[in-house]
């Protein structure tokens, strides 16, 4: 079940727009400047990445290892104040060295959950957990 833009509030639409533009087929990194605060922080797998430019570099590196990456929101909801949004998603793409493993072009997918903080109608912070261990085990068996 893919989360659509219908009947979503502004904060949820902001997250869906980010996923569609940055993690969709176009990989539009300029959307990061439009949709995120300059001091944006993401904590992903326990690693903290600070600032939009650092985040762009991280996304570029990740997308080089997971080519044709696409993230589809399966479910999304927010608090009444629209300052926090939770998205449950599936990311898929072609393995070209994810987790430092040899790239084989195999199509892979994994699930994850992100919690987003919204400030001034922009994404300001995100905490991401994903099923990386399960995918790693699949790729090494």
64-74, pLDDT tens digit by residue?
999 999 999 99
Note the pLDDT of residue 1: 46
Note the pLDDT of residue 100: 87
Note the pLDDT of residue 99: 87
pLDDT higher at 61 or 132: 61
Please say if the pLDDT value at position 5 is more than 70: no
pLDDT higher at 90 or 7: 90
Note the pLDDT of residue 132: 86
Note the pLDDT of residue 6: 57
Note the pLDDT of residue 133: 87
Note the pLDDT of residue 3: 59
Q: What is the mean pLDDT of the chain?
A: 93
Q: How far is CA 83 from CA 1, 120, 127, in A?
A: 24, 9, 14
Query: Please, are residues 55 and 32 in contact by the beta-carbon 8 Å criterion?
Result: yes
In 1-141, where do the E strands start and end?
36-44, 47-50, 66-78, 84-95, 107-119, 122-130
The tokens describing 69, both together, are 């990456």
Note the pLDDT of residue 7: 58
Note the pLDDT of residue 119: 97
Tens of pLDDT along 18-57?
999 999 989 999 999 999 999 999 999 899 999 999 999 9
């Amino acid at each position: 079940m893919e989360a659509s833009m219908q009947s979503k509030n502004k904060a949820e639409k902001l997250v869906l727009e980010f996923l569609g533009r940055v993690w969709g087929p176009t990989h539009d990194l300029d959307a990061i400047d439009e949709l995120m605060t300059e001091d944006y922080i993401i904590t992903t797998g326990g690693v903290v990445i600070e600032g939009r430019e650092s985040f762009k570099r991280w996304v570029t590196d990740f997308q080089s290892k997971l080519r044709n990456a696409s993230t589809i929101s399966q479910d999304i909801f927010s608090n009444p104040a629209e300052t926090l949004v939770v998205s449950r998603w599936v990311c898929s793409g072609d393995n070209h060295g994810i987790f430092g493993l040899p790239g084989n072009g195999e199509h892979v997918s994994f699930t994850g959950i992100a919690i987003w903080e919204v400030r001034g109608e922009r994404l300001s912070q995100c905490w991401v957990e994903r099923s990386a261990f399960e995918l790693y085990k699949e790729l090494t068996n």
